[in-house]
Chain A
Amino acid sequence: MTNKTKEKKPTRRDFLYITTAVFGATGAAAVAWPLIDQLNPDASVSALSSVETDISSIPEGGSLKIAWRGKPVFIRRRTKEEIEIAEKEDNENLPDPQNDADRVKNKEWLVVVGVCTHLGCIPIADKGDFGGWFCPCHGSHYDISGRIRKGPAPTNLEVPPYEFVNENIIKIG
């Protein structure tokens, strides 16, 4: 296109056009937000982003498996011996070194996401060589602190965000 009428100084006319264009562009950009935000989890999904569970009925040495954000969460009430073992084994040669104390809020309760960190299978409780969990898919062994000890999994079982609402209720997420 030819540029014969290019003006040297911005005039009032240009100012009007530029303002209008900027305004229009802003509006068009704002329209994008609802279209993007609708992809985010909706209110019914968000409402399930945290779950509260009554743990008072779990006996010592027992555990509970609950669903949280579509994944299983293991809540285990550990015995004194188990806690001792877990703490003692802090010094072992761990593939993903982490102290037991850093993995729990209350020594008695271990809360981990029950998804093997290898390829996402669900480990089986009270199986394997280390008294914790065993993943049947590719043979990963976890100890009573949910730490990986043997097998292909790269990291320890994930600890989800959680808090104790009161003595009996734990809120995960």
Chain B
Amino acid sequence: MNHDYEYTPGNAFTKWLDKRLPLIRFADENLLSFPTPRNLNYFWTFGFILTLCLVTQIITGIVLAMHYTPHVLMAFDSIEHIMRDVNYGWLIRYIHANGASMFFLAVFIHMFRGLYYGSYKEPREILWILGVVIFLLMIITAFMGYVLVWGQMSFWGATVITNLVGAIPLVGESILTLLLGGFSVDNPTLNRFFSLHYLLPFVIFGVVILHIWALHVTGNNNPTGISVKNTNDTISFHPYYTVKDLFAYVVFLLMFAYFIFYNPNILGHPDNYIEADAMVTPAHIVPEWYLLPFYAILRAVPDKLMGVLLMFGSIVVLFFLPWLDTMKVKSARYRPTYKIFYFTFLLTCFLLGYLGGQAPEGLYLFLSRVCTIYYFAFFLVVMPILSRYEKPSPMPIGISNSAINTDLGTDKNPALSINN
């Protein structure tokens, strides 16, 4: 990025430190004075929100692990112990449980933002791919965490999902046994899920650091999709975006707090307040809401193996996005045709989410199939074709030209003057 400003240590100590471990310089360049496009809208606040979501989950998770017992005979009761006896245990557990939902809500918005504004396009391919890796890790972590509750839905969800592995020809059964540590979901499964559920968030944290690193190499995309040309186009991250992101986070927190304090169980399933019983299957097995679209794709296919492959494929396809959509124009703002397909796709995903919760029969099954076909067609057919034939609408020359009046030009880079 165009740095024409450099960090200069102010006092003797910071000078001393700067020569040995340029920690403050690092923070300054990457957080405080990092040049950020001046025209970012509120959809760009979700990266910040997601970082805080991860931190919240890790902190509350560590606390919960202090009181939780990963054993089939005690897991369910130990969670009730947290809810009833531990000081503020109910609060911490509700934050963690609803926090997972909030995390996914934010990540979906974050991803659809990237999809709308072409944030995955050159030069941000690695940035996007790292994001998909994080998303994948999130799904695995969330799934394992849900099992730890050891309610009916935990147990049967785990049974159904791990059984998908059994669909792999020849070695499926052996892998399944290896995964479960037995012939069905039982204590060894619970123990390893607990171990991995504790580990994976830190892996996610590591990938998040890479994700942010990649972001800081290429710089932010912006709503116009036009590259930053000079310092007129940018403002310093702090205070502008720290404050704006924080504002968005408070809005987010208000919604989060509503769920925690006034409707903490609405996003969960009542059956998960029944202790796991290997001899009784619940009437309907449904995953948490954020996995419903994938569940719908799984069940849309009559063949078990094909269903599994399509479900995984629905995420794998995201890795190839930068090479499926090769259109130079990034933002959907200037792509009228893409915009229509984009919103149809958004609608399809909502519909898949709804269908994932319905019994796979009749009209529901038919719609699931139509939606699944469109889901893949959007990436594999629509994107490549539009890349070749779509005519973009007229675009402004630069970010500043379209966004602000020219009087402000006296200030070369506001980061210089406003930052303290």
Chain A bound to chain B? yes
A34 contacts B85, CB within 8 Å?
no
List which B334-388 residues lie within 8 A (CB) of chain A.
none
State the CA gap A35–B86 with chains docked (Å): 11
Q: How far is the CB of B369 from chain A (nearest CB, A)?
A: 47
Assuming A1-B419, A2-B416, A3-B420, is B85 touching A38 (CB within 8 A)? no
Within 8 A of A (CB), among B393-420: 416-420
B residues 32-90 touching A (CB-CB < 8 Å): 32-33, 59, 63, 66-67, 81, 84-89
Interface flag for A9 (CB, 8 Å): no
A43-B85 CB under 8 A given contacts A1-B419, A2-B417, A6-B420: yes
Least CB distance from A4 to B in Å reads 6
Count of CB-CB pairs between chains A and B under 8 Å: 51
A24-B246, A42-B87 known; A34 vs B81 contact (CB < 8 Å):
no
Q: Is the CB of A38 within 8 A of B92?
A: yes
Say yes or no: B88 contacts A37, CB within 8 Å: yes
B167 at interface by CB-CB < 8 Å: no
- B200 part of interface (Cβ distance < 8 Å): no
Asked whether A44 is an interface residue with its Cβ less than 8 Å from the other chain, the reply is yes
Which chain A residues border B86 with CB–CB below 8 Å?
Answer: 38, 42-43
Asked if A5 and B417 make an inter-chain contact with CB atoms under 8 angstroms apart, the answer reads yes
With A5-B417, A5-B418, A24-B246 given, is the CB distance from A35 to B87 under 8 Å? no
Proximity bits, B7-22, A CB within 8 Å = 1, else 0:
1101000000000000
- A24-B246, A42-B81, A44-B81 known; A34 and B417 CB under 8 Å? no
Question: When the two chains form their complex, are residues A43 and B59 in contact, meaning their CB atoms are under 8 A apart?
Answer: no
Tell me which residues across on chain A come within 8 A of B28, comparing CB atoms: 1
Interface residues of B in 188-214 (CB under 8 A from A): none
B165 at the interface (CB under 8 A from A): no
Q: How far is the CA of A44 from the CA of B63 in the complex (A)?
A: 18
Return chain B residues, CB-CB under 8 Å to A39. 66
Q: A38 to B66, Cβ gap below 8 A?
A: yes
- Nearest-neighbour CB distance to chain B for A34, whole angstroms, equals 4
- The interface size bin for chain A is 10 to 19
Residues on the A chain within 8 Å of B88, using CB? 33-35, 37-38
**Does B91 sit at the interface, judged by CB under 8 A?**
yes
**In the complex, what residues of A have CB within 8 A of residue B416's CB?**
2
User: Could you tell me which residues of chain A, from 61 to 117, have a CB within 8 Å of some CB in chain B?
Assistant: none
Verify A38–B417 contact, CB threshold 8 A.
Answer: no
Knowing A1-B33, A24-B246, A35-B59, say if A40 contacts B87 (CB, 8 Å): yes
Q: How far is the CA of A6 from the CA of B88 in the complex (A)?
A: 44
B59: A residues at CB distance < 8 A? 35
List chain B residues, Cβ under 8 A from A37. 87-88
- CB A18 to nearest CB in B, in angstroms, measures 13
The CA of A4 and the CA of B416, in the complex, are separated in Å by: 9
Q: Is the CB of B89 within 8 A of A38?
A: yes
Q: Which residues of B contact A35 (CB under 8 A)?
A: 59, 63, 88, 92
Q: What is the CA–CA distance of A16 and B87 in the complex, to the nearest angstrom?
A: 36
Interface centre among A1, A24, A37, A40 (most CB of B within 10 A): A1
Chain B residues contacting A2 (CB-CB under 8 Å) are 416-417, 419
Q: List CB contacts (< 8 Å) of A1-41 with chain B.
A: 1-6, 24, 33-35, 37-40
Other-chain residue from B10, B85, B91, B92 in contact with A44 (beta carbon distance below 8 A): B85
Given contact pairs A1-B33, A1-B419, A2-B417, A42 touches B85 in the complex (Cβ within 8 A)? yes
Interface string of B92-135 (1 = CB under 8 A from A): 10000000000000000000000000000000000000000000
Give Cα A6–Cα B417 distance, bound, in whole angstroms.
9
CA distance A2 to B4 in the complex (A): 13
Contacts of A5 in B (CB 8 A): 417-418
Contact of A34 among B66, B91, B419 (CB under 8 A): B91
| Complex Cα spacing A30 to B85, Å | 21
Please report A residues at the B interface, Cβ cutoff 8 Å: 1-6, 24, 33-35, 37-40, 42-45
Closest 5 CB pairs of A and B: A34-B88, A43-B85, A42-B85, A37-B87, A44-B85
User: A1-B7, A35-B92, A38-B88 known; 10 other A-B pairs, CB under 8 Å?
Assistant: A1-B8, A1-B33, A4-B417, A5-B417, A24-B246, A34-B87, A34-B91, A38-B66, A38-B87, A42-B89
